[in-house]
Structure 1
Amino acid sequence: MFANVILVVLLVLAGLTAWSAPAVPTLTKYAALPKAPETTRTFLVAGVSPRYVGYHQAAPEDYTGLTDTIMLVQLRANEPTIRMLNVPRDTWVELPERGMSKINAASNFGPDELVNAVRNLTGVSVDGYVLLSLNALREVTDAAGGVTVDVKEPMKYTDTAAKLYIDFQPGRQHLDGRQAEAYLRFRYDRLGDIGRVGRQQEFVGALQRQLLSPLGLLHVPNVVAALGSNVRTSLSREDVAEVFGALLRRPTLEPHLLPGHFGGMVWIPEDDKIQTLVHDKFALEAVAGDPRALKIAIVNVSAPAGSARRLQEKLQGLGYVNVTIGNGDGDRNRTTLLTTDKKAAERLRDDLGYGRIVLGGVGEAGADLTIRLAADFPQSQN
């Protein structure tokens, strides 16, 4: 939830100079001269809840608590829109070598594990991560002078561990940091975590409008300082420069929810709909000779069982966003790449390290590139 705050803060930072002392330490650490993104850039933004030791005692922040918000944020070189894919914290996934779990537990094993879980779920390549502590929401909201929201229905719940006492009535409410935390962490209505995602998106819009108002701009230096003291990120100065460059265009925010459905206490991802959404909204731009945005079908003809799945995971890790798998017929002795796009096939073969290109061959229906795995499939891939 509070991870969304970083988008609003960066949006404001992009058009400002460091004119106030509170912001100087953060700007010194992260600031870079804005530059327009040259390619599509996708970052993982997540808000991390505190871990508790003893009885309701928060442990020192190490950013390995459960994630309350998980979101992919994508910038594009020639498009004034920031696309966001919200992944519900209760999404049911398989964590490699750890079994089935809610995706919000992946952060317990470090940010790389969380990045891998989101990448495996969506097929979207991730260029870096930004983790925000729970304090970020409270301190940024207070630094902004509070945020006004429209409460849609009564909200009442007591969370003794987090020391949250939630009691909101319908209507316009001006929330301070503690109240904002209660409002955005509440998930005890009929929509559960999905309803919370909706409130998060509305909160972001309200905070954005407020900070961009004439009076709101006065709060920006303190907001920047609050953010800087509550973040862990892998973004380089070059990454930040491209983020600033994209945000200077005052882009439209385009949020999306990971397709799925309720299944007991978890959110069951719907793979076909996820693939369609990613292909339509988050796939890389089509570039001549670049196969990563094309639809690739992997067909196991005579390779060991499980080979297609493992190759799919490898390609997704390399940034291929639309890869399907199956079994079928073909050359049983030699792995082949079938396509009419020679440059794309050569690039794919370079990534694979093997394969015979067959131009104009009969591939799978609807696929731009078809890989038929045969007996020569390298054992190192298994």
Structure 2
Amino acid sequence: MAGRSLKQIFSREEYFLPVATNPINLGQKTDLARKPKAKKNFLSHKWTLFVVLFVALISGGLGAGLAFVLSSRPFQQRQLSADEAAVFNRNADSMTSAIAGVPTLTRPVNILVLGTIMLTSDLPDAQSKPKGKYLAEVDNNLNGMSDAMLLIRFDPATQKVAVLSIPRDSRVNIQGVGTTKINFANYAGGASLSAQTVSQVLGDIPIDRYIRFNVNGFGKLVDALGGIDIYVPKKLKYQDDSQHLYINLNAGQQKLNGSKAIQYMRYRHDDLGDIGRVQRQQAFFRAFIDQKLKPESITKFSEILGIIKDNIDTNLSVEEVLALASYTSKIDRKSIQMHMAPGRFSNPGEFDNLSYWILDNRLLAKLMSQNFGVMKSADASTDNSSQSLRVAIQDSMSQPEGTKKATTLLSKAGYAQVFAASDRWTKPIAKTQIIAQNGDRASAEKLRDALGIGEVLVESTGDIESDITVRVGKDWLQANNIPLKPVKATSSNQR
């Protein structure tokens, strides 16, 4: 840290907002009036986009040609020391083999993805600035704190992709640093310390490779791809003059360019703080995988490749990238499962008024066992009976009769904890969704069978207080002969 105090490092104003960004608030008190509402124990991803794009854009004929002219690790910006490299080489078995000349995954692969932001105030030789002074972002520096942290597992045996979002405010122990927020690991020791920390937190899971990408490259990439169509469920507005961070997005279906996509991803100033942002990251990824790659994007390959090379750091080799590309090209949308590390917000006064996400180690152990191949701990068992599951009913059709009918049916089927979601879904949907909020697909499928309708999604975009969220759609009303009322999605010009 080159002579800089931690207080200087964490001086930017954003760190004192709800669910603060800084790992260590260094004696500063969180403004309790602006803190997220207290949540009881309850159980989302911007950067997964880069993984899919990265492996897809370098696949096929273009990728094969590149393999001959590029070095084995052409996107690695920093050479790892022997000790750092060892963090990623715990599994001695090769990740890939050539089948008919095409690189193919031979075993499950775990990749840590870090989305980073670096401000001029974070640089080792930075001088402290008065409050309100502009703090510029350093475009190509990947050594800042991780604004997003994901573990992605590609498993050729199950033909699935499992994604775990780790909230950046998670309270963990970082070797050589102490107990703090997990987003500080990249700043303190780069990708290797981040991987070491994540592995420890998640039950000693091996991390095979890493990918780091910064927020400015994210916006450039979205622009190069022609924007992303997405539904914004509510107006997002926030202003931070010190960072020149201005977020102003209307609600409704719209195409986000690079700047607006960054605004959508970075917004975190509501009751759920960073957890709400994780949910928006997952929604963004769903929107991306539902959107076909435009033919004109292929003509921009050189531009896109340049953006990737300028803004990425990864120890993936070309052969490994091609193997991942081959694998992901065969994956069905329903085989992509998105999870969030379960936990709760810290309570006022619990940690000297510092704001943390407190991981639920019991539920986390179960999630890792079921979806990431980590040996199940002895105390990881949980009660998944219908009586114990918390089921939220979320209306999308502005028809109370539909939610009432669903609540009654599930209650009669033995679900003892059925309640109305805290917010209705403001976009009418045609097909009812059964969202496995805590990652338990089996329980969600069982509930769908009881309901008799619905599409199961494994993601964390439902009601944060639930284990399963039922998002009621048009098909439910029609199946139960409930009259459809005029309903209109929130328009993009709504204020």
| Residues matched between the structures, number | 288
Mean alpha-carbon deviation: is it higher for 211-220 or for 75-84?
Answer: 211-220
Report what 2:274 is aligned to: 193
1:17 aligns with 2:61: yes
Deviations 1:226-247 (A, max 9, x none): 2232101122334323312322
C-alpha change, 1:27 and 1:142, in structure 2 (3 Å) is farther
Report what 1:125 is aligned to: 206
Letter in 2 for 1:58: E
Q: 2:153 & 2:234 partners in 1: Cα distance?
A: 32
1:61-72 map, 5 Å: 61-72=140-151
Unaligned runs of 5+ in 1: 285-292, 298-382
| 2:344 aligned to which of 261, 273, 276 | 261
Runs of 4 or more above 4 Å deviation: 24-28, 213-221, 293-297
CA contact (8 A) 2:102 2:323 kept: yes
Report what 2:370 is aligned to: 280
Q: 1:82 & 1:236 partners in 2: Cα distance?
A: 20
- Equivalent residue of 2:142, what SS? coil
Q: 2:290 & 2:218 partners in 1: Cα distance?
A: 17
CA contact (8 A) 2:58 2:321 kept: no
CA contact (8 A) 2:47 2:148 kept: yes
CA contact (8 A) 1:49 1:134 kept: yes
1:109-148 map, 5 Å: 109=188, 110-123=190-203, 124-148=205-229
Q: 1:60 & 1:215 partners in 2: Cα distance?
A: 27
Letter in 2 for 1:283: G
C-alpha change, 1:60 and 1:190, in structure 2 (3 Å) is closer
Q: 2:362 & 2:155 partners in 1: Cα distance?
A: 24
The Cα shift of 1:218 comes to 5.2
C-alpha change, 1:204 and 1:223, in structure 2 (3 Å) is farther
CA contact (8 A) 2:52 2:328 kept: no
C-alpha change, 1:91 and 1:70, in structure 2 (3 Å) is same
C-alpha change, 1:181 and 1:294, in structure 2 (3 Å) is closer
The Cα shift of 1:215 comes to 5.6
CA contact (8 A) 2:230 2:253 kept: yes
The Cα shift of 1:205 comes to 2.2
Deviations 1:150-196 (A, max 9, x none): 11112110122432211122111221111111110000011111111
1:27-176 map, 5 Å: 29=74, 34-53=102-121, 55-59=134-138, 61-109=140-188, 110-123=190-203, 124-176=205-257
More strand by share: 1
Q: Normalization by structure 2: what TM-score?
A: 0.53
1:361-380 map, 5 Å: none
Q: 1:52 & 1:171 partners in 2: Cα distance?
A: 35
The Cα shift of 1:107 comes to 0.7
CA contact (8 A) 2:236 2:247 kept: yes
1:5 aligns with 2:49: yes
- Equivalent residue of 1:153, what SS? coil
- Equivalent residue of 1:18, what SS? helix
Letter in 1 for 2:358: I
1:231-242 map, 5 Å: 231-242=312-323
The Cα shift of 1:73 comes to 0.7
C-alpha change, 1:34 and 1:45, in structure 2 (3 Å) is farther
More helix by share: 1
C-alpha change, 1:234 and 1:104, in structure 2 (3 Å) is same
Q: Normalization by structure 1: what TM-score?
A: 0.68
Letter in 2 for 1:179: K
CA contact (8 A) 1:9 1:224 kept: no
Q: Once superposed, what is the RMSD of the aligned Cα atoms?
A: 3.0
Identity between Structure 1 and Structure 2 (%):
26
Letter in 2 for 1:13: L
